[in-house]
Structure formats: structure tokens, C-alpha cells
Amino acid sequence: MPRTPGRPRSGIDDTVFAATLATVNSLGYARATVDRIAAEAGIAKTTIYRRWPTKGALITACLVDAFGPAPLTGTDRSQILAAGIRWIAAKIGEPGIGAAFAGVFTDAVNDPELRQILSAQLQDPYRLALQEVLNEPEQRVLFYIDVVVGTLLHRLGMTGRPMVDADVEALVSMVTTALNPPLSPGGPPA
Amino acid sequence: MPRTPGRPRSGIDDTVFAATLATVNSLGYARATVDRIAAEAGIAKTTIYRRWPTKGALITACLVDAFGPAPLTGTDRSQILAAGIRWIAAKIGEPGIGAAFAGVFTDAVNDPELRQILSAQLQDPYRLALQEVLNEPEQRVLFYIDVVVGTLLHRLGMTGRPMVDADVEALVSMVTTALNPPLSPGGPPA
DNA sequence: GTAGTATCGATACTTGAAGTAGCGTAAATC
DNA sequence: GATTTACGCTACTTCAAGTATCGATACTAC
């Protein structure tokens, strides 16, 4: 296994990710500057910028690492979707992750390049997996993602606290009902 | 009608609000600096800071002015809620308003003071009106607001474009179904 | 060993935006 | 006219993102 010459990169990615979440958790997203994250990780700020081009890219990579693969398990489509909703709700509730997610989303609103990074690296893998397992068209899956993630982030953003389990279950019920609409006495919806 | 001595404030609030939306619409929220908004309005930046303590407070006041009262009309609760959803979706689709809304919301995530302003001045009036007209408890109405506003903002944030009518109708259907759950063959939900 | 290459740490710097201070001036009341 | 309050203007402070540079370090190739 021939390696390229030069000093190899030290394995500090995990250290930086942990420092990022810890800093965001203790200081909030706005005060989690790259300087402070670097200090928390015990490395130089310039080292961070050699690996990730912008702060948004760093946070996105951190979230991709923190989320990992979605456990889309269940015996039918409703159960699979419900598992996915409970999983993302729990992740957003973990210390630092929710605030980092909301922060980078917020930054992406007016930054098309970051939006691209966020969409491609964070949303698309889960969207594609959901399309496969639910056998639903892209537009429909994107709608479910808007509903679930938007709701969870709005709650976190307006209250500062993650959504409580009872409301998560209401969300599960609402979305799974939309996925498999019940036949109503007046006939099925057009 | 006795007036206090001193030079009266000139009636520039509407001019500033219009300049704010115009600037946000043409440049995006991030580049809509207070300097540029002041220039667009043809006044000094210091005049803006004499009226609103922070940029977030300015944007919030601008949104309160732009939204106005919600038209919660209809013959039953579902129709009233549907009218409210279509109204806020249309408002968020207007040029500048959606971007300004997403921007302040984003800023509020890590700014408790701004969150307070946003909650008290923008959300609470509509929440209270909804509680009255829907005859639902506060927690339930807050959940609906999270779902509707969160979904609309997530779509705008991830795509840069407001939600199309077909998806707004899917949202209406989903939320009104949750408001008045249909009796399913397996029995009503606990 | 030496040469070459790529990374790290450290310091300093540029840029841009939020918010503040101070001052002269304009428009009102008394 | 005296007082009071708001405006325009310029300059300033503060902070964070991102960049530039340079010496030191850790590896490969010979």
C-alpha cells in the first residue's frame, strides 16, 4: 500500500467533531466560533480550515458523523416511517446536535452553497433510503421530510428545548396517517 | 391633545419596513445589513437604532406589520384552520417576507432575547386567536403551529422557494385530519 | 543519512457587520 | 427665545469568518 509522501494527517477528525458538539452545547451555536472549537479540540484554527472549507461544512460533516445511518426498520411502511421519525427526534434531542442542526440550517437559508452541501451530504442519503423503503416518489418523501424535520426544528428554535415524547407520537400518528390514509365514510380523498 | 415637547418622530416606520423587505428580497437576509436597509430607506442607520434596539427587533416589527391579522374564517374548525394554513403559506411566499421570517427565526435559535420578542410579538397573538376559535388547549395549538410554520420554513430554507400549492393542500389535509380524527375500522385512537 | 513533500501550530492580518458615541442641526413646545 | 427631542453624519468599538505566512514536524524516496 504505497502512501503519498509528506507528513500524514493526524487522526483528529473525531476530536474536532466532539469538540464541535461540546462547544455548541455549552455556548450555543452563535458563540461556538471556530476559534473556540479549535481551542476545545486543542488544535490550531488553521488546521480546521485545511480540512473543511467553511464553518458550515464543518458542522455539516459533524452532523453526518453524529447521525449515522437511519434505522429504518419495521414490518410495514408505517412502522418504518414511525421508526425514522422517532430516531430523528431523538437525535435532535441529543446535547449539541439539535442546536448544531438548527444553526447550520439557519445559516443555509441565505447561503446557497451551504444549502447544496447540506442537501447533498445530509438530506439526500436519508431521502433516497426512504424512497426505496417506502416506495414513494421523491416529491412525497421530500414533503414528509419537510414536515418532520421542520416541525422538530421549529419546536427547538422557538422553545430552546426538544419536542417531548407525547408530541413526537402525535407527529408520528399524523404523518403515518397521511402515508396510509384511512377510508372515510364520505369516500376516499381524491 | 397635549403633545410632549421636542421634535416629533417623522413617520418613517412604513418606509423602513418597505425598505427592509425590499432589501431582504433583493440581497437575501444575510446581506441585508442595517446599513443597506437604512440607505434603501434614505435615512441614517442611527435613526433605525433609535427605534428598534436590534436588527432582530426591526425584522420582527416588520413581520408583525406585514402579516397583519389572520383571516380565521370558516363555518367549522377544519375550515378555519385550513384558512389559516393557506394564509400563512401565502404570506411566507410573498417576496421578502419568507426570507425575513426564516432569517429572524434562524437568528432567534441561539438568541433567547430575540426568541422572546418573536414569541411574544409575532406568535402569541395568532396562538391565542387559534385557541379561542378552535377551542383547543395551548399545547395542542403550539403543536399545530410547529407543524405548519416549521414545514413551510423548512421547505423555503432547503429549496429557496416557497411551498407549491399542491403541497400546501397536502399540509392542510394532514393537519385538519389530525384536528378531527376520522373513526377508523379498528376503533378511534386512544 | 539527505532531499523532498505535506501537515501542523502560531501569529498576524483582512473583511464585513452589529451596535455605540458624539456633535451639529432641525422641528416641535413653553 | 429657551428648552427638549429627533435626525443626519462620521467615526469608532467589537467580534467572528476566513486568509497569509513561516518555522517546525513527520513522513516517503533515494
Q: Does A173 touch chain B (CB under 8 A)?
A: yes
Q: Where are the domains of chain B?
A: 13-62, 63-179
| CATH class of segment(s) A69-179 | mainly alpha
| Residue B128 touches chain A, beta carbons under 8 Å | no
CA distance A9 to B186: 59
Using DSSP, state whether A136 is helix, strand or coil. coil
What is the pLDDT, as a whole number, of residue A186?
56
Region A16-21 average pLDDT: 98
> Nearest-CA neighbor of A176 among A140, A144, A129, A137?
A144
C-alpha cell at B160: 429557496
Identify which of A97, A157, A109 has the alpha carbon closest to the alpha carbon of residue B108: A157
A100-112 per-position pLDDT tens digit: 998 888 778 778 8
Do B148 and B175 touch, CB atoms closer than 8 A? Answer: yes
User: A146 with A95: CB under 8 angstroms?
Assistant: no
Mean pLDDT taken over chain B? 93
The pLDDT of B29-55, averaged and rounded, is: 97
**CA B7, C1' D3: Å apart?**
11
Pick from A106, A91, A93: nearest CA to A59 = A106
Q: What is the pLDDT of residue B1?
A: 57
User: Which contacts qualify for A29-36: CB closer than 8 Å, 24 or more apart?
Assistant: A29/A99, A29/A100, A29/A102, A29/A103, A29/A104, A29/A106, A29/B109, A29/B110, A30/A103, A30/B110, A30/B111, A31/B110, A32/A100, A32/A103, A34/A58
Amino acid identity, residue B11? G
Please identify among residues 57-86 of chain A the ones whose CB lies closer than 8 Å to any CB of chain B. none
d(C-alpha A108, C-alpha B74), whole Å: 37
Of all residues in chain B, the percent with pLDDT exceeding 70 is: 95
CATH assignment of B13-62? 1.10.10.60
Select from B113, B139, B147 the residue whose CB has the most chain A CBs within 10 Å, as the one to mutate to test that interface.
Answer: B147
Q: What is the mean pLDDT of residues B148-171?
A: 96
Residue that is written with C-alpha cell 428580497 in the block: B25
Q: Using alpha carbons, select from A110, A122, A23, A106 the residue that is nearest to residue A63.
A: A122
Average pLDDT for A51-56: 96
Q: Is the CB of B50 under 7 A from strand D?
A: yes
Reported as a single tens digit per residue, the pLDDT across A66-98 is 999 999 999 999 999 999 999 999 999 999 999
Residues of chain B with C-beta less than 8 angstroms from the C-beta of A153 = 150, 154
- Separation in Å: D27 C1' and B78 CA: 69
pLDDT one-digit tens code per residue, B109-130: 778 889 999 999 999 999 999 9
Give the angle A174-B147-B179 at the CA atoms, nearest 5°. 50
Interval A144-168: pLDDT, tens? 999 999 999 999 999 989 999 999 9
CATH numeric code, B63-179: 1.10.357.10
pLDDT at A51 over 60: yes
Which residues of chain B neighbour A156 with C-beta distances below 8 Å? Answer: 109
Q: What angle do CA B82, B88, B113 make, to 5 degrees?
A: 130
